[in-house]
Chain A
């Protein structure tokens, strides 16, 4: 080993605390880079694989009822590779405990091989074409797990007004059920209340009394075709059969949700490691620059001996490179562990067939390359000062570093009040600008991460409280399988413990304007009602107009609509002829979730009915009244009875998984802050050793000297925290707007509590890093530090 390498190792061993702190920062960067990218690639790959292997549809069309023969006509449209006709319908599922759930019955023509949206069997065996008495079905794994369903068990549904028994054969998934959700207005899956039930086409036709009929067409398009043109052609064919809705894959719920997750991962997997690498580069640069300055004399000697610039620069650069390599090795090991933990988590959330684990060699290689480049770049950048050192000059002792006046001294009012120790700290900070900058930046990043880690929790919590406390004031919402007369329910309010009831009429519609069409759900409620209120994304209450539509802004934007314009609204109920009426846009608002509203009367008018409803909201004496619930569950046309209180509970359980992620992030953020503070405080300590020793000689105690050093760190930390809090908010807003889609838009809500916790947590981590650095004050050797300069 050359003498220089030995010198390098000795330097590392003298400054091992700092070396370790640097390694930790690089390690965290590599860890996050590898785990997030691996998780991203794995998830994306299994999504793509699943979609193509099981032929996920490009376009979806819903009709009231059409003969199977339309499929052949649709397939004859150029650009349509394959079309599959099927029946999908929501029916009531009767659970053993008398509760009701919604079952989304979905039929599959057999054999399935060439069809669009095929099934992947996860357990049990495939259903038969025909079954003698009860139809064989497959259930989605989430519902099966939540309700402890096993193969061979029977379940009961109410379809076409009759009870029917189904036999569970096992569990299955399909690209459209990766994330099984009822509709876009439910933010989370409801595994206790919502099931996907898959069975043969012939059985579902028989159960629903629709032989030879279909109500959905899913199509596979050739790559690169004009989707909208084909969409219009298909709609033309389906028009006589009551075309209710048509949407592209990107608006399919499960896909949209998976995309939000992927997009979030993609952003995080790029942005978060970048933050760590930048901080690592910055701090390495500062440390090396200082190191070179203090080795000035030795560098002069080396040069005098005949070492060239490149050799000396490489010597210092290899320090940084070593940090990177050691960091990358540990980061890779930890990153692979975290990637597999994340994959396990995703496997629980998403119904994907392949296990989504797996090590991505390319990501690991990139982890090494990036961290190596960071090391080399910061090393070379810092060691360029070696070029300026001339041997002759380097041999002379350095003059004292120059103290200077700072801007604050222009304010004698404040300055006069500061003791010498504050003056010392402030001037020292401003003299060491790069150290100041990196400390502030480091603490700031740590705070940004702390805020960022916790704010998704706030946003979800906010959504919940918004939905449960502001929007919905009822205790039960009772939905019907089809519109019913309100008068039939009017005596419910005389039931015991029912305080109040209000009607809802929900109408799926097509809105035509400016030659374009959008599907939308219009919710008709009484503008003067109390049980459901509309709020926009900024928590402002929005009044429902007596006449005209309160339109959601995504739909308004897509159709290019402004308040006051008149649109054509075509009803798209699952049954009956559609009706078209002209309605005025009374107002446009930014929804958080959910759709557009009209008044209950307008809704009835739109349907050409009076006093019909699709649901009733009930306000009770208590959040849950089992007796009333049981009675409602018994009623023939009731499809579901939902209790917000119960829903909220299951949402909160989901939040627990998120908490795990938050804790990990908080730990990383804390380690980052700790490492930076430790490093810069140690640097400050090393540089001021002599000064601090003089203070000790003068009679200052260890505690007083330590306080002096801490003071400097705290000034910088406070600046970092003050900048980090708003920066964290900004980053949250940017993140939320980039993952928001037409279906889900998220508010960037951060509670004051979160700022407080982030500030508190960073104070704790700064304190620890700072304590680790100043504990050496005890060991200041006064004699050593005051020895003649060498």
Chain B
């Protein structure tokens, strides 16, 4: 693993203004995201993890500060640049999967594949997440873990450089959760993508290359983990 920087955040902050009240969801943060790393962002609920991840993924704009993907500025680009960035470089996985109910597993994946010029083969990705047999099922016919695997396949099929996961195990039981984490670690390894996992569950930090700890809207420390554990060995 080399230490090539894919993303750079410079004094990035996010403030929500709700009438009289302003909430500083993310205080000025400077950090780098490295190519091919598995980064786990840890912190209690409300500490600003999702806010940070959303900024990295280009689904939200910072109130202040600069963001660069490689050398391109994301913070000054406007909607077109952000949309393109998400389309080409980012795969998102959410706590509640957010699959399209009217599309089958395979079609949900194909929907993302249609966006890029050179996607991975849909069947191969479904095989990777172990859902090839269930490719013609609708989301309502799948369990939570299976839905999450479809969501991962959907995120991965574009072969993105960044795979961003917000509480990917939050709605799942332990065993299923581990399976999902294993899958994410594999993707990180096999495809060389940068995988960022946001979670409030500290034990997950054990599998990371680096762990960013957050508290009240601030990244308090970033720890390099010399000996990441395989996901199946993590104990809840």
Contact = CB atoms under 8 A, between A and B. Distances in A.
B103 interface: yes
B213 interface: no
A112 interface: no
Interface stretch (B106-114, B174-182, B183-191, B224-232): B106-114
A166 to B, nearest CB: 82
Contacts of B80: 701
Closest 7 CB pairs of A and B: A699-B87, A403-B138, A402-B140, A427-B102, A782-B59, A699-B86, A694-B98
Contacts of A653: none
Contact of A698 (B79, B86, B107): B86
A698 B60 contact: no
Nearest to A778: B79
B94 A420 contact: no
A423 interface: yes
Nearest to B80: A701
Contact of A697 (B86, B99, B107, B147): B86
Contact of B139 (A400, A423, A695, A696): A400
Nearest to B141: A402
Contact of B101 (A402, A423, A788): A402
B103 A697 contact: no
A690 interface: yes
Contacts of A562: none
Contacts of B139: 400, 403
A191 B94 CA distance: 79
Interface in A688-706: 690-691, 693-702
A698 B101 contact: no
Interface string B71-109: 000000001100110111010101110111111100110
Interface string B100-143: 11111001101110111000000000000000000000111100
Nearest to B88: A699
Contacts of A412: none
Given A420-B103, A788-B95, A401 B60 contact: no
B66 interface: no
Given A403-B104, A420-B114, A697 B92 contact: yes
A399 B142 CA distance: 10
A125 interface: no
A400 B99 contact: yes
A783 interface: yes
Given A400-B99, A423-B107, A424-B103, A786 B140 contact: no
Contacts of A697: 57, 59, 86, 92
B99 to A, nearest CB: 7
Interface of A: 399-404, 419-421, 423-424, 427-428, 431, 690-691, 693-702, 782-783, 786-789
Contact of A401 (B59, B112, B140): B140
Contact of B140 (A403, A700, A787): A403
B49 interface: no
B54 interface: yes
Nearest to B51: A783
27 contacts: A400-B147, A402-B140, A403-B101, A403-B102, A403-B103, A403-B139, A404-B138, A419-B114, A420-B103, A420-B107, A420-B114, A423-B107, A424-B100, A424-B107, A693-B98, A695-B100, A698-B154, A698-B158, A699-B112, A699-B115, A699-B116, A700-B83, A700-B87, A782-B54, A783-B54, A788-B95, A788-B96
Contact of B103 (A399, A423, A699, A701): A423
Contacts of B166: 786
Contacts of A428: 102
A696 B59 CA distance: 8
A701 B99 contact: no
Given A420-B103, A699-B86, A399 B140 contact: yes
Contacts of B116: 699
B59 A424 contact: no
A557 B107 CA distance: 66
A403 B103 CA distance: 7
Contacts of B140: 399-403
Nearest to A782: B59
Contacts of B50: 783, 787
A399 B95 CA distance: 14
Contacts of A419: 114
Most buried by B among A403, A423, A693, A789: A403
A423 B138 CA distance: 12
Contacts of A423: 102-103, 107
Contact of A694 (B83, B90, B100, B141): B100
B153 to A, nearest CB: 12
B159 to A, nearest CB: 13
A400 B92 contact: no
Contacts of B158: 698-699
Nearest to B89: A699
A528 to B, nearest CB: 71
Contacts of A401: 101, 140
Nearest to B99: A400
Contacts of A696: 59, 83, 86
Nearest to B87: A699
A698 B92 contact: yes
Nearest to A401: B101
Contacts of B110: 420
Contacts of A698: 86-87, 92, 111-112, 115, 154, 158
B114 A691 contact: no
Contacts of B102: 403, 423-424, 427-428, 431
A631 B112 CA distance: 86
Nearest to B57: A697
B87 A402 contact: no
Nearest to B54: A783
A428 B107 CA distance: 14
Contacts of A402: 101, 138, 140-141
Contacts of A694: 92, 94, 98-100
Contacts of A399: 140
Contacts of A700: 83, 87, 115
Most buried by A among B87, B101, B110: B101
A427 B154 CA distance: 20
B59 A783 contact: yes
Nearest to A403: B138
B52 to A, nearest CB: 12
A679 to B, nearest CB: 21
B83 A701 contact: yes
Given A400-B140, A403-B102, A423-B107, A699 B96 contact: no
Contact of A691 (B84, B88, B101): B101
A758 B111 CA distance: 36
A698 B83 CA distance: 9
Most buried by B among A419, A691, A697, A789: A697
B231 to A, nearest CB: 23
Nearest to B115: A699
A691 B98 contact: yes
Nearest to A427: B102
A695 B154 CA distance: 11
A701 B114 CA distance: 13
A691 B101 CA distance: 8
Most buried by B among A399, A424, A699: A699
B114 A699 contact: no
Given A403-B139, A420-B103, A691-B101, 13 more contacts: A420-B108, A420-B114, A695-B111, A696-B86, A697-B57, A698-B112, A698-B154, A699-B87, A699-B112, A699-B115, A699-B158, A701-B87, A702-B79
A776 to B, nearest CB: 15
Contacts of A786: 59, 94, 98, 166
Contacts of B104: 403
Nearest to A429: B102
A400 B146 CA distance: 13
A693 B100 CA distance: 11
Contacts of B112: 698-699
